[in-house]
């Protein structure tokens, strides 16, 4: 999260800050973690994530408020 929220200088991750952790899995190797990330990013899994982890209306209202607070504090 540190890299996504503070260290990146350009690209997609910087454009949509702040990133918020909503789910976590632990892996023994980076290759296992990256394989799982690719699985989660396919269309069917994105739909599953939205249905199981995100109430979009409340989530995006909360996110907009958080971003508003962060921008007013100089972050």
pLDDT tens, position by position, 6-36? 777 777 666 777 777 777 889 999 999 999 9
For residues 33 and 54, which has the higher predicted lDDT (pLDDT)? Answer: 33
**What is the model's pLDDT at position 69?**
72
Residue 48 phi, psi dihedral angles, 5° rounding = -60, -40
**What is the model's pLDDT at position 33?**
92
Q: What are the residue ranges spanned by the domains of the chain?
A: 2-72
On average, the pLDDT of the chain sits at 76
H-helix segments, the chain: 2, 12-15, 30-40, 43-53, 56-72
pTM > 0.75: no
């Amino acid at each position: 999260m540190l890299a996504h929220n503070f260290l990146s200088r350009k690209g997609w991750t910087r454009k949509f800050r702040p990133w918020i952790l909503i789910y976590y899995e632990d892996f023994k190797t980076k290759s296992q973690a990256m394989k799982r990330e690719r699985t989660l990013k396919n269309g069917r899994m994105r739909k599953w994530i939205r249905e199981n982890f995100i109430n979009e209306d409340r989530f995006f209202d909360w996110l907009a408020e958080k971003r508003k607070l962060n921008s007013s504090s100089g972050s």
